[in-house]
Amino acid sequence: MNKETAKKVIIALASKDTDTLNALGVTVYGNKGRMWENEACITSLDDIKGECNPRLASNYCTVEHIGCPQCIKTLLDLAYGKPQPQATRV
């Protein structure tokens, strides 16, 4: 996920814009408990191998349930800059 995409995702998340999130390829993971707490993970942050980036499971969470603090932080860092391990092309 690049910087521009991350920004679009943040904006779409803020406005609960499911169509845009689907178009951006955002997928969600979280078990029932996390869904209820709106702390589901974003599973399409593939550039970042976060501590919480489950890939092997999916369930019926929807984008409205995204809210994992770790994923949101990663997304914000991606969008608004924090030195990344990989060199960024300018």
Residues making contact with Zn ion (CB under 5 A): 41, 52, 68, 70-71
Judged by beta carbon, residue 49 or residue 89, the one nearer Zn ion is 49
Neighbour tally for 12: CB within 10 Å: 20
Judged by beta carbon, residue 17 or residue 52, the one nearer Zn ion is 52
CA 6 to chain centre: 8
Which letter does DSSP use for residue 63 in this model? G
Judged by beta carbon, residue 57 or residue 90, the one nearer Zn ion is 57
Q: Which residues pair with 67 in a beta bridge?
A: none
Q: How far is the CB of 70 from Zn ion (least distance, A)?
A: 4
Q: How far is the CB of 89 from Zn ion (least distance, A)?
A: 27
* CA–CA dist 34, 10 (Å, integer): 19
Is residue 80 classed as helix, strand or coil in its secondary structure?
helix
Q: How far is the CB of 87 from Zn ion (least distance, A)?
A: 25
